[in-house]
Amino acid sequence: MDPRQYSQSNSSRNEDSDGEQYTPRTPRRTPMACTFCRGRKLKCDGRPICGNCNRRGLACAYVPVAAQMQQRS
């Protein structure tokens, strides 16, 4: 039994391949309002926690565009 072998299995070759998906600055972003602002027709500043939610202490949530396009009939 070698306990070292066991602990190594998690920490190699997971996220060092192609494609940087996380960029520190997003050069272009789609102007989007969070669910709260959209529901209230407020102007959303587009931050991870936008100003309106931040003031109210709400959890700011953004719904992806793909989910918006689903319309129930």
Q: Does 63 bind Zn ion (CB under 5 A)?
A: no
Q: Does 31 bind Zn ion (CB under 5 A)?
A: no
The pair of three-digit structure tokens given for residue 1, joined into one six-digit string: 């039994």
Q: Does 16 bind Zn ion (CB under 5 A)?
A: no
Whichever of 9 and 26 has its CB closer to Zn ion, that residue is: 26
Distance CA 4, CA 24 (A): 35
Segment contacting Zn ion (CB under 5 A): 1-9, 10-18, 22-30, 58-66? 58-66
